[in-house]
Structure 1
């Protein structure tokens, strides 16, 4: 069976007072999930708005991904299937640096 789906993610970014807030909305056709993220500029750092945008947006997408995984786990449990093991280590970086 072949299926083709199209899901849309909308990202809204708002900068105010040295803080960037992001909201990522995933629309699947059947439901909408929302993730949130934020970033702030350290007062001692050079203000580069693109960096705040990238940090806030990536954090919103990470939050959204977690919500999507939890929803998939709930649905798998509802039909009697096992869930996906949760990763407990660092999400990114060099593994040898935290060993």
Structure 2
């Protein structure tokens, strides 16, 4: 993680995304890991080749990776919502 937090300077960070793809018997599995330095989110996804389609492993990779990234995005938004709710000022009645 690279972070610049000097006063008056823009806040910058570097997040790391890793996709591990596994292919076996016309099935592609993906394990996605996003490391933000403050949090680590993971997702998994699968794609299956239609038996009537040609064997083009890249297509299965794209579908499975895309599905894993969509799920990772959902988890990231959920994490943001939870953090925002936890940081709301307490209401005094």
Per the TM superposition, whether the score is higher than 0.5 is yes
1:60 to 56, 63, 68: 68
Q: What is aligned with 1:84?
A: none
TM-score (norm 1): 0.77
Q: What is aligned with 2:36?
A: 28
- Structure 1 runs not aligned, ≥5 long: 82-99
- State the 4+ residue runs in structure 1 displaced beyond 2 angstroms: none
8 A contact 1:9–1:26 mirrored in 2: yes
Matches within 5 A, 1:48-87: 48-80=56-88
8 A contact 1:35–1:62 mirrored in 2: no
Which one has a bigger Cα radius of gyration? 2
1:11 to partner: Cα distance: 0.4
RMSD: 1.2
- Structure 2 runs not aligned, ≥5 long: 1-7
